Structure 1
Amino acid sequence: MIEFTTFPSLTATWHNTTYPTISPRQPRLSVSGKAILITGGGRGIGPRIAHSFASAGASFITITGRTLSTLESTKAGLTSEFPNTAILTAVGDVSSAPAMDAAFSALSAANGGKGVDICIHNAGYLPDGKSVVESEAEDWWSGFETNVLGSFIVARAFLKHKKASSTADVPVLVGVGSAVTALSPPAKGTSGYSVSKMAQQRFFEALAEEEMGVRVMQVHPGVIETDMGRKGAANGTKVPVDDISLPADFMVWAVSPEAAFLQGRFIWCNWDVEELKAKKEKIVAEPTLLAVGVGGWPFQP
């Protein structure tokens, strides 16, 4: 059993559920008129992320996933509660370039050909929690196919179909990362997941350097009782659980102009946003803070 009772935190305040500052009902966090695509939108935290963006006034939301029934169920619930938000579905795996290109293209077309404003890349895969010698190669590599190749394919499709960038309103790509990239040493039995999520983080950092007209970051979504969360628990990992409202509402704040200074960084949804903003100068001045590296967070030299 691997048990964590506390995690390192960049802010003195630690949240386990949503709070007023990140409420999607806040006028300053409005995404009115925007087109948003969420991968892994049919299950786990995906539907709740879609709910938060619909609450913030999104005009179009596309949810992608591998199972039509879960996507249609999520769409029905969102359409009933938010009739002014058009909900689109796209069946396909994130490791399929044709499927992702089609999903982004359809959303851009629905938005009058103006492109996609925001992408939340939420889809991920957790390999079985086994030692290297006990792991099945196919399952171990599935972490890389979804978490790394999938990130590349989704990011490339977003870049092809993103809206035109402007100084005041840039397109935003947020990847759902994992705390495993920040904790050292990695827990036993997590090589397939921790290494693939570390590679995913590095990919997002590289993308942030290449695409200066796009805001890119990664967010650790906390520990949520989803299928992946339960699989992790079954694999022998015990951690404090967060309410699903926290990562969902935090994503709406993360795409707002308030979070622009976090370009290329890896942040935790548990951190207090007001305290994060107060650390803006320090974060901007230290390129290795909240980034992958031997001397990176949480072990600064």
Structure 2
Amino acid sequence: MDRYLVPRHTNISRHSDSYSFIDPSKHRDALAGKTVLITGAGRGIGRATALAFAVAGANVACLSRTYSDIEAVGNEVRSLGAEATVLQCDVTDPSQPRRVVKAVEDKYGSIDFLINNAGTSRISTIEHETDFEVPWSVMETNLRGPLAFTHAVTPGMVARGSGTIINVVSALAVTNPPYFWAYSAAKAGIIKATHILDKELRPKGISTYAVHPGMVADTTLGVGALNEAALEKDPDLGGFMKAFTPSMGDQLALPADTFVTLCANQDVHLLSGRYVDSCQDLGEVLEAAKRGELEGDGEGLYNLKVDML
């Protein structure tokens, strides 16, 4: 199953939980007074991210479709001594991004960091996907949502000449796993958009990252994702799931603390526009970047591309 999770051999150390370099408590001075907007903040990675930014001293704006979830997260953020605001929002609703961004900017003056975390998944054979609207909704949540919120926050970030946009993606978009065709396609699209937007936004002071959060089991992303009808009809899908499920062993703090560090550590901006694997030691990757080791043929490493003869 590793071939679906680690796309190439590497000497960079790997982690499944948080580690010293990404400890969010290091960044209280850097993030004090800054504001982060997190989509899908009610549970799992989004909730952990909200709490990590609270530890780092940022104002935290939490978005979710379920108000009771973000209300609870907002209270947890406040218990850590940080400011919080909570907004119910469906990221696929065209009317929502501008409304939400305006509300947060009106309250805090700016949005310094955007974490496009809201997502949903689908695991199915295409043969047994009887309602195309189901996988298409996965495409809309994972592709339209991040692009729409990026579009909404960009004018303010450009006006201030600073900002960070993190798109939560997946290793399944840079490898070729079966049965994730809608999810992987949407995430690959966001990775490519991140690469391209970096060329436009980095000269204006805005950093962008496409971040694989690791294979985290403690998340609602996969709830209801498996097409049970396909599972009954295709034995290969059942075999794949038995092999795939044990790979979900990474902890929520790993991506959450990685996101904080990408926003707070000025040196990490060397990685802007690239794919970042939360499981790889970020300090080691940064040192490699400083030595110029990420640059190679074409656009270099950590980019989504097609190699040709």
TM-score range (shorter-chain normalised) is 0.7 to 0.9
Match for residue 45 of structure 2? 45
Alignment of 1:146-295 (within 5 A): 146-162=141-157, 164-166=159-161, 170-183=162-175, 186-212=176-202, 213=204, 214-225=206-217, 226-229=219-222, 236=241, 237-238=244-245, 239-255=247-263, 256-280=265-289, 281-284=292-295, 287-295=299-307
**TM score, norm. by length of structure 1:** 0.87
Q: 2:102 and 2:252 mapped to 1: Cα distance?
A: 30
Per-residue deviation at 1:99?
1.4
- How many residue pairs are counted as aligned between the two chains? 284
Secondary structure at the counterpart of residue 52 of structure 1:
helix
- 1:81 partner amino acid: L
Secondary structure at the counterpart of residue 283 of structure 1:
coil
* 2:39 and 2:118 in contact (8 A); partners too: yes
Q: Structure 1, residues 29-73: CA drift from partner, whole Å, max 9, x if none?
A: 731110110010111210110111111111x21111111111111
* 2:55 and 2:80 in contact (8 A); partners too: no
Q: 2:98 and 2:146 mapped to 1: Cα distance?
A: 13
Per-residue deviation at 1:117?
0.6
Gapped regions of structure 1 (runs ≥ 5): none
What is the Cα-based RMSD across aligned positions, in Å?
2.2
Secondary structure at the counterpart of residue 294 of structure 2:
helix
Per-residue deviation at 1:240?
4.2
Match for residue 35 of structure 1? 35
Per-residue deviation at 1:263?
1.3
- 1:146 partner amino acid: T
- 2:266 partner amino acid: P
Match for residue 71 of structure 1? 70
Q: 2:281 and 2:34 mapped to 1: Cα distance?
A: 26
Per-residue deviation at 1:147?
1.1
Change (3 A) 1:200 1:13: same
Per-residue deviation at 1:210?
2.0
* 1:91 and 1:99 in contact (8 A); partners too: no
Per-residue deviation at 1:208?
1.4
Q: 1:271 and 1:25 mapped to 2: Cα distance?
A: 20
Secondary structure at the counterpart of residue 75 of structure 1:
helix
Q: 1:24 and 1:252 mapped to 2: Cα distance?
A: 6
Change (3 A) 1:199 1:248: same
Change (3 A) 1:230 1:142: closer
Q: Identity, % of aligned pairs?
A: 25
Q: 2:9 and 2:144 mapped to 1: Cα distance?
A: 30
Per-residue deviation at 1:156?
0.5
Q: Tell me whether 89-98 or 173-182 shows the greater mean CA deviation.
A: 89-98
Q: 1:259 and 1:13 mapped to 2: Cα distance?
A: 17
Q: 2:149 and 2:102 mapped to 1: Cα distance?
A: 12
Q: Kindly indicate whether residue 126 of structure 2 is the aligned counterpart of residue 132 of structure 1.
A: yes
* 1:208 and 1:215 in contact (8 A); partners too: yes
- 2:100 partner amino acid: A
Q: 1:15 and 1:261 mapped to 2: Cα distance?
A: 21
Gapped regions of structure 2 (runs ≥ 5): 229-236
Match for residue 93 of structure 1? 90
Structure ranking higher in helix proportion: 2
Per-residue deviation at 1:9?
5.7
Per-residue deviation at 1:27?
4.2
* 1:261 and 1:284 in contact (8 A); partners too: no
Secondary structure at the counterpart of residue 162 of structure 1:
helix
Q: Structure 1, residues 223-276: CA drift from partner, whole Å, max 9, x if none?
A: 112122465689713214111111111111112212101111001001112211
Change (3 A) 1:285 1:4: closer
- 1:35 partner amino acid: T
Q: Structure 1, residues 67-113: CA drift from partner, whole Å, max 9, x if none?
A: 1111111111221222xx211111111122321212111111112x3
Per-residue deviation at 1:11?
4.3
